Chains A and B, each alone.
Chain A
């Protein structure tokens, strides 16, 4: 039942041209632009930026899922789902799984651009590991997007998601390396889920295991956003 639901929602998401362009096209373009503006041929930067942008793409895709949820609320689709035998838990789980499916193209898009256009070289297992860690690491953002979608109207969800997206991306150092930040901002940055999210990927590209602190921070955010999504859904259930 859930798989049927996930299949339907994934189809619906990937048919949304706006979604595909903004979550796959934009990170790939930004990556190629940022890494090829300077005339230097800094392989390390290209690799780090690749992971950062793949993370950014995943973040955007995960969050914009919330926009889809808010849209479903306004069209009455969520209401129709509630009178099918699917339980609310199955609906939310299905939506979260959809999120994890649709972040994949964003991640692979940037990785492919890094490997083919920018000549980033890594061991085969590292490519796989980067993709998988970024994929799993995007869960907190999927939950944040879902929470926004269930709680807010379609329009506010869009605005809030963009704010979350830009704020978390910039402060977390997905656009510019954290080393350029002043000390205080670097401290803040290390507490953001986005920073730790990118660090997951960086650790893998460097062939090391991610630190315990990174996992703790990410799991903490996942728990927080998960609760937010659950509470928001329960609240919306009354009004949906």
Chain B
């Protein structure tokens, strides 16, 4: 049985599970395939299982059941072959080395690295090459991590909350370099809890919550999946029990005096509202990714009430 390894996906999770202790299912049966050249965002709040999923995919941890494969083989094999670079989230900078020493060393461990100067330039570290890593600011440290992930010229780059410590400007520079790297045909997987980042920089968004994949697709698809439109209007003190019974409404939310209805059939919803003369300051807007995310991840018992 021969497999053409060039056609294997970059990343494949197959029913992967990882449990900590007896109760916490950090990763709970994930199935996910990332094609080569794709840029995918893992989106989820803190504790959704993003970091555990990344640890599994880098071979830092092993699934209790199911499998995780990189380029058709084990993560360990892909890592040993130098096909993977990663920027880990936790940890303090390595003490007592300069930026150049560190990046040059990591480059030496890869079979076909890019020139160190190029990696430093891509990460915006050119002028800091001689500085000690443990003397840099948080944002600069983050760039060092990026250079470390990049310098081996890996086919797959994995970034665990890469922009967490960056200010707005640094964040934009970062994504600029990242895009450049992706455009060379490389595969990128990043985790984030910033919706805008997932929306702007990923080809595909995977929404993770409580260790499960709730939805996956382009941001357009996610918005559609969450119920196409938002209809909002002033209640003027009127009752709210009937809101969930309106045609097309999948969920609703009352904030102060304003009702916000998520609906798959905005025409039908608006018509029904008009019949009840409940059209004070009526507004129909497409669902934002924010709303889609909330709708996908929020449990029915919190601020949002789900019908059906």
Asked if A182 is at the interface of the complex by the 8 Å CB criterion, the answer is no
Contact assessment for A83 and B94 in the assembled complex, using a CB-CB cutoff below 8 Å = no
Count of chain B residues with Cβ under 8 Å from any Cβ of A? 30
- Enumerate chain A residues within 8 angstroms of B82, measured Cβ to Cβ: 85
Q: Which of B90, B95, B106 contacts A12 (CB 8 A)?
A: B95
The answer to whether residues A83 and B86 also contact, given A1-B108, A8-B105, A11-B101 and a CB cut-off of 8 A, is: yes
Count of chain A residues with Cβ under 8 Å from any Cβ of B? 25
- Taking the closest CB of chain A, its distance from the CB of B22, in whole angstroms, is 17
The CA of A75 and the CA of B105, in the complex, are separated in Å by: 18
The answer to whether residues A75 and B94 also contact, given A11-B101, A83-B84, A83-B86 and a CB cut-off of 8 A, is: yes
Q: Mark B267-301, 1 if CB is under 8 A from A, else 0.
A: 00000000000000000000000000000000000
The CA of A69 and the CA of B280, in the complex, are separated in Å by: 67
Asked if A125 is at the interface of the complex by the 8 Å CB criterion, the answer is no
Contact assessment for A11 and B95 in the assembled complex, using a CB-CB cutoff below 8 Å = no
Contact assessment for A76 and B106 in the assembled complex, using a CB-CB cutoff below 8 Å = no
Contact assessment for A77 and B109 in the assembled complex, using a CB-CB cutoff below 8 Å = no
The answer to whether residues A4 and B94 also contact, given A79-B88, A80-B148 and a CB cut-off of 8 A, is: no
- Enumerate chain B residues within 8 angstroms of A75, measured Cβ to Cβ: 91-95
- Enumerate chain B residues within 8 angstroms of A7, measured Cβ to Cβ: 105
Contact assessment for B88 and A86 in the assembled complex, using a CB-CB cutoff below 8 Å = no
Dominant secondary structure at the A interface = helix
- Enumerate chain B residues within 8 angstroms of A127, measured Cβ to Cβ: none
The CA of A238 and the CA of B81, in the complex, are separated in Å by: 21
- Taking the closest CB of chain A, its distance from the CB of B132, in whole angstroms, is 9
Asked if A5 is at the interface of the complex by the 8 Å CB criterion, the answer is yes
Q: Which of A74, A76, A85, A238 contacts B79 (CB 8 A)?
A: A85
- Enumerate chain A residues within 8 angstroms of B91, measured Cβ to Cβ: 75-77, 79-80
Q: Mark B75-87, 1 if CB is under 8 A from A, else 0.
A: 0000111101110
Contact assessment for A80 and B95 in the assembled complex, using a CB-CB cutoff below 8 Å = no
- Taking the closest CB of chain B, its distance from the CB of A30, in whole angstroms, is 26
Dominant secondary structure at the B interface = loop
Smallest Cβ-Cβ distance to A72: which chain B residue = B94
Smallest Cβ-Cβ distance to B58: which chain A residue = A83
Asked if A84 is at the interface of the complex by the 8 Å CB criterion, the answer is yes
Contact assessment for A83 and B60 in the assembled complex, using a CB-CB cutoff below 8 Å = yes
Smallest Cβ-Cβ distance to B107: which chain A residue = A4
Contact assessment for B96 and A11 in the assembled complex, using a CB-CB cutoff below 8 Å = yes
- Taking the closest CB of chain B, its distance from the CB of A215, in whole angstroms, is 36
Contact assessment for B81 and A12 in the assembled complex, using a CB-CB cutoff below 8 Å = no
Smallest Cβ-Cβ distance to A81: which chain B residue = B109
- Enumerate chain A residues within 8 angstroms of B146, measured Cβ to Cβ: none
- Enumerate chain A residues within 8 angstroms of B58, measured Cβ to Cβ: 82-83
Asked if A87 is at the interface of the complex by the 8 Å CB criterion, the answer is yes
Asked if B152 is at the interface of the complex by the 8 Å CB criterion, the answer is yes
In the A-B complex, list the 6 residue pairs whose CB atoms are closest, starting with the nearest: A76-B91, A4-B108, A85-B82, A15-B96, A84-B109, A12-B96
Further contacts, 20 of them, CB under 8 A, given A83-B86, A83-B88: A11-B101, A12-B94, A12-B96, A12-B97, A16-B95, A72-B94, A75-B94, A75-B95, A76-B88, A79-B91, A82-B59, A83-B58, A83-B60, A84-B106, A84-B110, A85-B80, A85-B82, A85-B111, A85-B152, A87-B80
